[in-house]
Every structure is written in C-alpha cells, then in structure tokens.
Structure 1
Amino acid sequence: MTANTPDAGYGPAVHPVVADVTRRLAERSAATRSAYLERIAAAASEGPARGSLGCANLAHGFAACGVSDKLALAGDVTPNLAIVSSYNDMLSAHQPLKTYPDTIKAAVSEAGGVAQFAGGVPAMCDGITQGRAGMELSLFSRDVIAMATAVALSHDMFDGALMLGVCDKIVPGLLIGALSFGHLPVAFVPAGPMPSGLPNKDKARVRQQFAEGKVGRRELLQAESAAYHSPGTCTFYGTANSNQMLMEVMGLHLPGASFEQPGTPLREAFTAEAGRRVLGHTALGQHHTPIGEQIDERAIVNAVVALLATGGSTNHTLHLVAMAAAAGIELTWDDFASLSEVVPLLTRMYPNGAADVNQFHEAGGMAYLIGSLLDAGLLHEDVRTLMGEGLSQYRLAPRLEDGTLTWVDEVKETGDTSVLRGVEEPFASDGGLRMLSGNLGRAVIKVSAVAPERHVVEAPAKVFGDQAELQAAFSAGELTGDFVAVVRFQGPQANGMPELHKLTPPLAVLQDRGQKVALVTDGRMSGASGKVPAAIHVSPEAKAGGPLALVRDGDPIRLDATTGTLEVLADLSGREPAEATADSGSGTGRELFAAMRGSVGPAEKGAGVFHL
C-alpha cells in the first residue's frame, strides 16, 4: 500500500479552495497517514488471515456453521465477511436491522462467500436520554462502539465486513473501529427513515408551548408520539441522518441507499447488494478496496463539503475529526472554516427548514446533491467507492428492474426548490456551520437555522452550571432582558459533553418575546441546533482550565457569527476559576466512565479517548 497523497493539480474541475484545503490536509497528515498505511499493510496477508490460525483456533471459529460453510472456511479460497450490528428493538432506527444478517448471509452465499455475525455494539439514543444522567455516557459510547467493533473483528476470521448502524455515535464508532482494520473492505448498511409523521415545525411549536405552560404533558406526548411513530430513523436532519449522508458521499453506502425507507423492496435489494459488493472488494475478489485506502484525504474533504452544503449536524465537527484521525488524517476546525466560505447551503431540512429527509429524498436527494457539488468542483470525483473508481456513479438513481438493483438515470433536476437546490441558486452562499474564536476559546456555531439579524449578539452573561439551573431560572421568571447564557462544565472532561437540547425551548420562548439571547457552552447541541444563536463545543472547556471558568454574571459577551469571533469584554485577569457545581461522578453507570473522562481529548481534537 502506498500513501494516496493529493498532487498539486487535481485537474481544472476542482475548486481551488477545495484543492488547497486537501493539499494542506495531506501535508499536515503526511507522517501519521504514512504510518497508518504501513500499519494496515502489515496487517494484510496473502490469502485469508484464518489460514494462519491453528486448527483449534479455526475449529472454534466455524464450530456453529453449517456443513457447507465449514468446508468453505476450512480452505483459503472462499471469502468470509463479518457482520457487525447495532440492532436492538427499543430504538426505532435500529429495529429494522433485525432481519438484515439473514438477508446478507443469503446474498453472500449465493455469490460464493460466507458471512458470519461477528458481534453486536451498543446503541443508545440521545432522544431518550435528553436531560437525563444517561446523556453523560452518550459521547463516550462512540469510543465504546469503536472498541466493540474491534473486538468483533479481532478473530482473524474475516476478509471484509458490513457495518449495520444508523444513529448519532453508532456510525462514527463503527467507522473508527473499522478503520483499525483498514486492510479489510467495508460497507455500511443503513435502515432508512420512518415515514413522515407530525411535521417537525409543529412538534417544535408544541414543545415551546409546553415550556411556556400553555399545554400539558399529555398534549406534548401526543405530539412527540405523532412525530416519532414507527420503525426507522427520526425524520429531522440531525446527527443520525447526517451520518447517512456522510457515508454515502464517502462511498461507504450504495448510491441512493441512505434515505430509502425500511421494508421496501428497494431497501431489501440495497442490503443484499452491499454484501455482494464487499465480497468483490476482498483480496480474493476482482476489485480489492481496503477501507483504509478508500478513506483518504479526498474522501474526508468530500465529507466536510457535503456536511456544510446540507447544514448538517454540529456533532460532526467532533466525529469527522475523530474518524479522520482513525485513518491517520489530521482534520482541523480551520479546514471546516475554510471550506465553509466557498460551499453554499443547498438544502432546507428541519431544523433549518420545514422539510424532513423524506421530502429531501423525493426531491432528488443524494444523487442531485452530489451531482450539483461535482459540477461546481466542490467534491473530489477521483475517489474509491463501493461502486468502484469515481464518485460520478453516485449521481445516478437506483432502480429495481425485474428484481435486479441497477443505477440508470442521472438526477439532473430538483423536484422541490424549497427543499433542495443546485449550486447556481443556493439558499445561502456559504455553509451552515461556522467557527468562532476569541478570548473565550474556539467554538462552533450552526447558523443555517438562525435569522441573519441574530448572527451578532452582545449582552451581559448569565452563568449556569448545567441546563437544569437555566431551566429553573426560566421557570422562576428570572431570565429578563437581553443576555448570553453561559452553561459551563459541560465538556468531555467535566461530564462527557452531553447534548443540551432542553435549553432550546426556553431560550426560543425568550427570543420570541423580543429579548436578545444567545448560548455559549462547552457542551453539545447536536444536529437539532435551532433558531437561537449558540456557540457550542467551546474549547478549551471550563474543566480543563478554559476561560469559561472565569466568566461571571454581568460580564459583557459578544458572539459575532459574521466575523467569527467569541469574546468576553471584561478583564478576567486575577480571577479564580469557578468549580463545577454538579456531581457527574456516579449513578446511571457514570462511575464506569471515570477513566474516559480522565483521558478524553479536547473537543477541537474530536473529544476522543484514543490518541491515534
């Protein structure tokens, strides 16, 4: 294996900023990327790795198989694929995965291979744990999933793998784990979104009414149950659906697979075809494509571009950095900022619009989005994918013809310009994410859902130790006048960096009343960051000695998304840092994660416990 280092030219079709960011990324990552490629080259072997297992080892590996699979795995000419799944039947997004292993096994067997269910990984839901102690395990679950994936693949039985997962930390964790076995080809197999239910804007309105005391718990639960109502992924464009978009633009999904609903013939065909494709990409196949070579600097830049063009989840300013690091690539927030200046916003999906992902899919979806970005030179076409060489095949719409999955017509037009547009007529001239920096540190802000007149807020600070304190102040009527809410000690070292969605309804109520409000926090807001300007992921965090620990009530703070600045307009010298007021050390399993809180890196480096 050799380093796939971008050259000086890229051809005339690639936007100069995209080319420059890719070049800088490659230069910055030269040593770590080369070391990674050498490591996965050393892990590769001539023929299946199971051929080097002792007889007792191998016998354990296929003891539960049928006779024909035992015979096949005893030799060294039949590829064996691992299936790693996040299936559970509590979470709607993962419930459809129950039947996928049997579908994959049958398809792989017909194609001349074997597939074994290698292991399961945990899958927790941020939607369930919002405002609960369990949310403090959420971010760390990504790295637990990565380790569980490595355990599943550690038996040297496999020539390729299929990753079954959907939601927030699951897909990044699966990819980080898969990249640690970068000598293997890998496909990601999604489940698809649930059918559209109560429109997201109506759900948000009821949430805000509940925060104001205008409706009760019964009405709120009815609204939530009408929005989240069946198997499949939640339909708003949060982290789960950003995950699916990223896997497709990185060539780890089949074209068009991301947003096909569960239970359709096309979804079944996608699942079976994923197994066949990986079979052909093994060292025993005709198109050997190790995932560690596939996910190179070009693929990472493509992922950032697509995230910006769709106004995707702010969580990926953490996850993409961590995923890139797992492939030896040093992605930085500065790369996001540089690309954001030239990548236009091409979609309007909740929370930055009224539509959901089903409407995006129906309007032309990923095929139209990728085609538009390719035509503008904003994506690298010369990447390796599940379809082979080149991203252009992802412009094509999938079809079932006599039961056979094929890709035929290029999607050249959007079906709904209120949801999806081309580069020539974008919703905004730059991406939906921006980076902030100043004497409070570095932060991320999602502006795609924030009205332009709210991109600059300067107001006195009101400081809180967690979101419960702010909610209590709201309920007591104490949040009057203009202010910047500083919610600190919410970073990865402090308490695992929970999402703070419970802050959105009260702050939105105050904003609608005419108050100027903003949020500054070292915690997360995720893909559902809404209409209130929020500087999140502040790094360094308060627990690590960041300036947030020095801020006091009344200190003037200026958040300026137009200039990219985050400043406290007060002299902080001579102040003693505040201490965290909430105990996050025990209960709901938090005591088991003390070692992770102690070793986790900063948000700007991906908030991971691995130092790759």
Structure 2
Amino acid sequence: MTLHPTIAAVTQRITDRSARGRAAYLDGVRAAASQGPARGALGCTNLAHGFAACGPAEKLGLRGTVKPNIAIVSAYNDMLSAHQPLETYPALLKEAVREAGGVAQFAGGVPAMCDGITQGRAGMELSLFSRDVIAMATAVALSHDMFDGALLLGVCDKIVPGLVIGALSFGHLPTVLVPAGPMTSGLPNAEKSRVRQLHAEGKAGREELLTAEAASYHSPGTCTFYGTANSNQMLMEVMGLHLPGASFVNPDTALRRELTRAAGRGILELTAPAGQYTPIGEVVDERAIVNAVVALLATGGSTNHTLHLVAMAAAAGIDLRWDDFAELSAAVPSLTRIYPNGTADVNHFHAAGGTAFLIGELLDAGLLHPDARTVTGSSLAESYRSEPTLENGQLVWRKGPAASLDENVLRPVGEPFAPDGGLRMLDGNLGRAVIKVSAVQAQHRVVRAPARVFDDQSEFLDAFAAGELDRDLVAVVRHQGPRANGMPELHKLTPALGVLQDRGHAVALVTDGRMSGASGKIPAAIHLTPEAAAGGPIARLRDGDLIEVNADTGTLEVLLDAHELANREADTKQAPPVTGTGRELFASFRSAVGAADRGASVFAHGEAR
C-alpha cells in the first residue's frame, strides 16, 4: 500500500512544523504514564473519598492497583435527540467493564447544547465557546487521579471536539469515544429544503414549516443530515477513536447495545495493566490528524472542522493549518453525496457501504495512513475495513462490502463525484476564508457583485423581507467572529439566499461568522480572518463595493485600490456590553479567543507556535 505523494508530503510538513510542540507534549504524556495508576499514590483519605460511594466489590478492587478503573464522562441530556440515548449507557458500560474484570465510575458530565435550537438566537453566541468549556469540564472529571482509562460519551457539534481536547490534556489515559447513532430517516431532505424556501418567501406558514421540521427531526438520535454531528462521528472512526463501524448504527437497536458493551470491554484491553497500553495522546498523532482531514474532504463534511481539527491537533502538540486542508483537498476526491451535498442522509450512506467501504477505498488509493494506531489495539488498515453485525446474538466484525451498494450516495475512488474534496481556502485583500463547494454548482462558484453590508443577520433578513435584495449581490455579514460575539452559525440566512439564487441572481455570502455543517448551495466565504472586531479589512467595506468570490482560483477580493482600502476607517462597532442568555459570563472568552485559522480557541496552545 503506497502512500499518495501529497498525503506523504503534507504529513511530513506537519510533522516537521510540529516537532518541538509534539515532543514536549509526548514528554508530558510519558511522564504521567510512568507513574503507574495514579490512585496508587493517593493518601488513604484521598482514596477513601474516591471509592466511598462504590459497592463492596468495587471498593475492594480500587483499594489496590490491579483492577483498572475507567472514567465515564457523558454529555447526556434528554432534551437533545442525539444525546438522549446516552441515558442508559453508564449502567451498560459499568456492567461490561465489571464483567471484563475492571471497575468503572461515572466521573462527570459535560454540557451539550444544540445549534439547531439556538439558531438565530442569542444562545448561539455561546455555542463555539461551549467546546472549550466542555474540554475544561472533561479535564475536571478526569482530575481525581483515580483512573486508568476513559470512555467519552458525546455526539454533536462542539461536544466531541471538546471531549477530545479535554482527554488529550490527560493524554496518558487510553480513551474510547462512544457514539449513539443517527435517528432513522424522516422527511426527505429535498422536501424539507423546499418548504424552508417557501416559508422564506412567505408562501408557506409557520404551521406548515413546523410540520415539515418535526417530520425531519422526529426521534432519538443524531439529525440525519451530514452536518457537524455526523462529521464528528466519521472523523472519530477514521482517527481510530471509535470501534470499527460504530458511527452510524441507529439507537435502541440490539447492535447498538452490543457495540456500547464492546467499548466497555475494549477500553480495559488498552490499559497498562492489560499489557496493550494505548494512550489517546499517542493515537492522536500526525497520521491520525491527516487521516481525519482526508475523511472530511472525501465526504464533504462540516466546515466547522477547519476550526475543530486545528484545535484538537493543537491539544496534542500538532500544528495543523488551513494550507494543509487546501493542499489535501486538491488530492482527495469527493466520494459521497449526503445532504446538504446531495439528497441522501447518513442512513443511506451507511446502507450503501458506510465507513467500511469508504475507508477501504481511501486506504487502497494511498489516501490514508494505514499504520495509524487505533483503539482496537491494531492499525487502521487491519481493523477498519470491517463492519459490525450480530451472529446468534453475538457481536462480530465481518469484511465490509467490496462495492458500493448505491453509487448515487457512495462511490469508489476510481469514479468519484468530483476529483477534489470540495473544501477550499480563499485568500486576498480581505484576508483568509474557507469555502465549501461540494454542494455549489459550477456556474455559481464565481460571483462578482456589489456588496450589501450588514452588522447582524437580522438586518439581512429585514432587508430581504422588504424586497431590497432582489438583485446580484455579495451579502457581507460582519462582526460575527469569535472576538465579536462568539462566532455564531448563520443558517437562518440560507433559505433567503437560496431564494435569491433561484430567482437567477448571482449571490454569495462573505462573513467572519460560521455556516458550518449545513453549508449548502450558496457560495459562502466563511470564517474570514482577521475578523471585523480585530480591525480586519471586512470592517472597511461599504455598500456598493465590488467584491469577487472566486472558488475556482481561491481568491477573495474587494476590487478597490489598495491605498483606498488601507486608508478607510474601520467600522469596529463599539457595541454595548453583551448581556443576557448567559453571554456576560463569556466576556473573558471573547477577549482571549484566538483567530479562526488557529482554531478559535481560548487555550494558549490554539495559537501559532
């Protein structure tokens, strides 16, 4: 299996660039591991506190250091469909760990918020920062020095990256991510999108819209479109942090139950006492990070991961940059069509061959590192071409399909939907931005039109409702970056922009905010950095400025004389203090957060080294 030259070159560049930071990180991991089970060094009072609530058998096991003790950290709540299935996992995992000869303790919970619920609301301004809160909460849960390994329960948006970042701060602990799976398919995505646009035009009422939405998001499990939540699951599997094939098995099925139990048994095999020590800090290496980027590109995944993967890599001492995404995207073909990049959902993808077929294709093409370590104890190539199934009630893994069962959804490398990964970087006199083109038709990938500048998404929606935008335009929505207001997603703009495009207008979006997992058919230059609140060039734009968004050449320009642009006064929008919906509690985050291309992190390791 020969590694593709671009994959090899980018990996080497990341490795060289990261050498100092990665070495320091691994030194810390190995120093912590060399101490053995940390609870062995606890004083008697400390240790007694640590097992006081356990049953007699667990107390006996934890008094010594022979039985491994596993931390369970969960993002369970019963309001969010994706996390509701996690309610029963701790008891199931404790039982599986106990039967396999260990002890498990529920170490802590982390918050889990939903961008789908907070979309267009003040709560969305807490969303991105919740990732770093989750990382800190994970670290708090693991801080008691009682554990030999960890099971992390989470699914959506910022939750999985936060869990991983927190776990990497305890990089000496073996760690398995435990997913919950997607809800079954509901209203077809094309119909959902049609009703949304009708509502944006005033041709469908609220009751019709709510009926469509409720038919789409209808049961426990992850939303079935290929947004950040399902991109998380894909990346965790390709990074070797899930069991093979675990990502897209529906909740409340016998197979899902057995996969959860297998995670409990499997974590014990990775602990030092079992002799197959596999800490997360060594699983998440440069190979795993590159594999994750490749999988993101091959599947048209969420642009949120141009933030999250950078931040996760930094937590492991690895310096990943947007240029790496761009170079890899040119070499990685698009192999899936999952909404919003197509009409199918993740259940269709799973039925067509799923991760086993996808990973096999990428491995055979030399686009993944086959020797990357995984939580199976073996390499990616050895374990992740397989898919789980039940035989006589027992969980087994069998070889995945040799061919796609639906090439409208999942294709082989030799017959891709597109020759590249559909995620591109834009550079120009407005700064750097990300654009996802996998759902954008070729004729819409270059837009040159006058700017209409807004400082809030509500201003755009008001102008649309008033009929002011029925023309070619580049909608500029600024003061949406991490320093301004936490970098909210701006998906409420999508139906209106879609209406304008369908009317035959050339339309694009430029913003220092996010569109992320559901980025669709409108060309959107997002995550623009430097942001307006940092005095970036976007703060100098005015209505009528001619802007070119060119996904083909990778450029983002305002067609102004350089001297004029430089000498314009920046509109830095000296807004009143942000209060309400808990936003005042995050003032220190807004002042400390790094740039989007460094992961928009409040942690020091999120900045360039």
3-state SS, counterpart of residue 567 of structure 1: strand
Query: Which residue of 2 is the match for residue 398 of structure 1?
Result: 388
Partner Cα distance (1:409, 1:497) in 2: 42
**Equivalence for 2:481:** 491
Instruction: Please name the residue that 1:8 is paired with.
Output: none
Aligned to 1:287: 276
Q: Which amino acid aligns with 2:522?
A: V
For 1:3, the equivalent position in structure 2 comes to none
Structure-2 residue corresponding to 1:587? 580
Q: Secondary structure at the match of 1:330?
A: coil
Equivalent residue, structure 1, for 2:22: 33
Q: Is 1:264 aligned with 2:257?
A: no
Residue pair 1:308, 1:345 contacting (<8 A) in 2 also: yes
1:363 Cα shift? Answer: 0.3
Measure, in 2, the Cα distance between the counterparts of 1:531 and 1:583. 35
Aligned ranges for residues 88-237 of structure 1 at < 5 Å? 88-237=77-226
Deviation at 1:46, TM superposition (A): 4.2
Q: Distance in 1 between matches of 2:34 and 2:261?
A: 27
- Do residues 474 (structure 1) and 467 (structure 2) align? no
Which residue of structure 2 aligns with residue 330 of structure 1? 319
1:504 to 494, 501, 512: 494
- State which drifts further: 303-312 or 47-56: 47-56
Specify the alignment match of 1:9 in structure 2: none
**Match in the other structure for 2:240:** 251
Amino acid at match of 2:33: A
SS, match of residue 273 in structure 2:
coil
Distance 1:388 1:579 in 2: 52
- Report the counterpart of residue 594 of structure 2 in structure 1: 601
Give the structure 2 partner of residue 541 of structure 1.
531
What is the letter of the counterpart of residue 582 of structure 2?
G
- Kindly state the Cα deviation for residue 286 of structure 1 after the two structures are TM-superposed: 2.7
1:344 equivalent in structure 2: 333
Native 8 Å contact 1:465 1:582 kept in 2: no
What SS does the aligned partner of 1:29 have?
A: helix
**1:394-428 deviations in whole A, cap 9, x for unaligned?**
11121212322111223211110000001000000
Aligned amino acid, residue 557 of structure 1: I
Looking at structure 2, the residues matched to 90 and 98 of structure 1 have their Cα atoms a distance apart, in angstroms, of 11
Would you say the 8 A contact 1:345–1:426 is kept in 2? Answer: yes
Instruction: Report the secondary structure of 1:389's partner residue.
Output: coil
> Which of 369, 374, 387 is residue 385 of structure 1 equivalent to?
374
Q: Amino acid of the residue matched to residue 548 of structure 1?
A: I
Partners of 2:396 and 2:154 lie apart in 1 by 24
SS at 1:222's partner residue? helix
Partners in 2 of 1:582 and 1:467 — Cα distance?
15
Give the distance between the partners of 2:401 and 2:590, measured in 1 at CA: 46
Cα distance in 2, alignment partners of residues 183 and 480 from structure 1:
57
Separation (CA, whole Å) in 2 of partners of 1:408 and 1:469: 54
Q: Is the 8 A contact 2:353 2:400 kept in 1?
A: no
Match of 1:460 among 450, 459, 475: 450
What SS is found at the alignment partner of 2:144?
Answer: coil
CA contact (8 A) 2:157 2:228 kept: yes
Alpha-carbon distance in structure 2 between the residues aligned to 1:39 and 1:525: 37
For structure 2, list consecutive stretches of 5 or more residues without a partner in the other structure: none
Conserved 8 A contact 2:152-2:176: yes
Shift of 1:450: 0.3
Count residues with an aligned counterpart: 601
Question: What SS is found at the alignment partner of 2:306?
Answer: helix
What is the rounded CA distance, in whole Å, between the counterparts of 1:62 and 1:491 in structure 2?
Answer: 45
Q: Write out per-residue CA displacement over residues 195-243 of structure 1, whole angstroms, 9 at most, x where no aligned residue.
A: 0000111111111100000011000000000000000000000000000
Distance 1:342 1:153 in 2: 39
Residue equivalent to 1:430: 420
- Could you tell me whether the CA contact under 8 Å between 2:535 and 2:572 is conserved in 1? no
Distance 1:480 1:225 in 2: 31
Given candidates 11, 19, 44, the residue that maps to 1:55 is 44
Distance 2:329 2:16 in 1: 20
Q: Quote the RMSD (CA, aligned, Å).
A: 0.9
**CA displacement, residues 247-273 of structure 1 (integer Å, 9 cap, x when unaligned):** 000000011100000011110011011
Given that residues 155 and 232 in structure 2 are in contact (C-alpha distance below 8 angstroms), is that contact kept between their aligned partners in structure 1?
yes
CA–CA distance in 1 between the matches of 2:312 and 2:36?
28
Opposite residue 571 of structure 2, the aligned amino acid is A
Deviation at 1:579, TM superposition (A): 2.9
Cα separation, 2, equivalents of 1:149 and 1:403: 34
Alignment of 1:547-586 (within 5 A): 547-571=537-561, 572-580=565-573, 583=576, 585-586=578-579
Name 2:406's counterpart in structure 1: 416
Q: 2:603 maps to what in 1? A: 610
Paired AA for residue 240 in structure 1: A
Q: How many Å apart are 1:490 and its aligned residue? A: 0.2
Distance in 2 (alpha carbons) for counterparts of 1:582 and 1:193: 40
Output the CA distance in 2 between the equivalents of 1:52 and 1:45.
Answer: 12
Instruction: Please say if 1:528 is aligned against 2:521.
Output: no
Residues 583 and 213 of structure 1, relative CA distance in 2, 3 Å threshold: farther
* Cα distance in 2 for residues equivalent to 1:402 and 1:290: 33
Q: Tell me the SS of whatever aligns to 1:328.
A: coil
Q: Please give the alpha-carbon distance, in whole angstroms, between the structure 1 residues aligned to 2:227 and 2:35.
A: 42
Q: Which moved more, 1:291-300 or 1:382-391?
A: 382-391
Residues 1:354 and 2:343 aligned together: yes
Task: Please report how far the alpha carbon of residue 45 of structure 1 lies from its aligned counterpart in structure 2 after TM superposition.
Answer: 3.7
What one-letter code is carried by the residue in structure 2 that aligns with 1:488?
R
Runs (4+) of structure 1 exceeding 3 A deviation are 581-584
How far off its partner does 1:311 sit?
A: 0.2
Aligned-partner Cα distance in 2 for 1:444–1:611: 23
1:114 aligned partner, one-letter code = V
Separation in 1, partners of 2:344, 2:576: 39
Letter in 2 for 1:426: P
Superposed CA offset, 1:365-398 (max 9, x none): 0000000000000000001111122112111121
Residue 287 of structure 1: how far off its partner (Å): 1.2
Determine the C-alpha separation between the residues in 1 that align with 2:518 and 2:577.
24
The Cα of 1:285 is off from its aligned counterpart by: 1.1
- Asked if the contact 1:131/1:502 (under 8 Å) is kept, the reply is yes
The aligned residue for residue 6 of structure 1 is: none
Kept after mapping to 2: 8 A contact 1:47/1:77: no
TM-score scaled to structure 1, two decimals? 0.97
Distance 1:434 1:210 in 2: 31
Equivalent AA in structure 1 for residue 331 of structure 2: V
One-letter code of the match for 1:445? I
Letter in 2 for 1:485: A
In 1, the alpha carbon distance for the partners of 2:504 and 2:577 equals 35
User: C-alpha separation between the residues in 2 aligned to 1:54 and 1:581?
Assistant: 53
* Aligned counterpart, 2:307: 318
Residues 344-369 of structure 1, C-alpha deviations (whole Å, 9 max, x = no match): 00000000100000000000000000
User: Are 1:239 and 2:228 counterparts?
Assistant: yes
Percent pairwise identity: 72
TM-score if structure 2 supplies the norm length? Answer: 0.98
Q: 1:584 to 1:13 in 2, by over 3 A?
A: farther
Deviation at 1:582, TM superposition (A): 5.7
